[in-house]
Structure 1
C-alpha cells in the first residue's frame, strides 16, 4: 500500500484541529504516504543519504544556494486569519490547481495532495514548520519552509 489512511496518520490532528478543521470532502485529497513509499520519494527527489532537512549534505540539491532565487516571510501571512499564501509564492508557483504536490516533512513523512488543497490549507500543513519542502510532480519549482517564518523559492536541479 502506498498511502496510510488519514486516521492512522500520526499528525492527523493538524487537519482536524478545532481552530482550523479541513472539511471532510477535502480530507480525502490529503494522502500521507506509507513509510516505504515516502522513503523512496525522498530518496529520488530530496536526498539519497540524509533522513531530514537538518542533515542534508552539501551534495544534495537543496543545499546548493544557486537553486534558490528568493526568500519570503510566510509567518505574517500564517498569523493573519484572512490571508492566504504570500503573494510572492502564488506568483512564483504558477501551477494549475490539479497539479499533484508532495509536502515533505522528512524521509518517512511525505503527504501527497493537489496544489489547490495545499493553497487552501497551507496553514494546517505548516503546524509543523521544521524545514518542510513542497515539490510538484514533474515540476522544477520548489518551496522550502523554515521555522523562522521564511520560505525559499527555488528550482530543483
Structure 2
C-alpha cells in the first residue's frame, strides 16, 4: 500500500462532498499536470490511502481520508468541449489524462492546518513542506502518513 495527498479546492469539491456521494465514492478528475498524471497513471493503486487536502480556501490543510477503489482510467472531461478540463489535443484512442475513483473513509474533527504541518519536525519529505512543490497529487511516505494521521485524529 502507498499513501498520497490529493489537493482540492473545497468550493469545487470537498471532503463533505465526497462523504455525500452515492456509496461515498467519486472519480478524481481534472488533473492536468503531467507529473501528477504520471502518479495517477503509474503509481496510484487500489487500496492506497489518500489524504484529502483543502487548498485555496480559508482553512488550508488536511481535511480527511479516502481510499483508492479504482485505478487509473481515461478522464472523460478531457473529451467534453463544455468542460473546464477539455483538452482538444487528447483523443479517445490515445487519451492524455486519467482519473481514479476514491471512497470516503473519514472526515477529521478539524482541518490539520498547513501552518501546523510545517512546524512538525518529523514532516520534511512531503511536497507540502518543500519550497516550490505545488502538485495536486503527491506521495506521502509511510512514516509521515502515520504522523499526519495521528495529528489529524
Which structure carries more strand by proportion? 2
TM-score bin (small chain): under 0.3
Q: Which has the higher contact order (CA 8 A, sep 6+)?
A: 2
Which structure carries more helix by proportion? 1
TM-score normalized by structure 2? 0.23
TM-score normalized by structure 1? 0.23
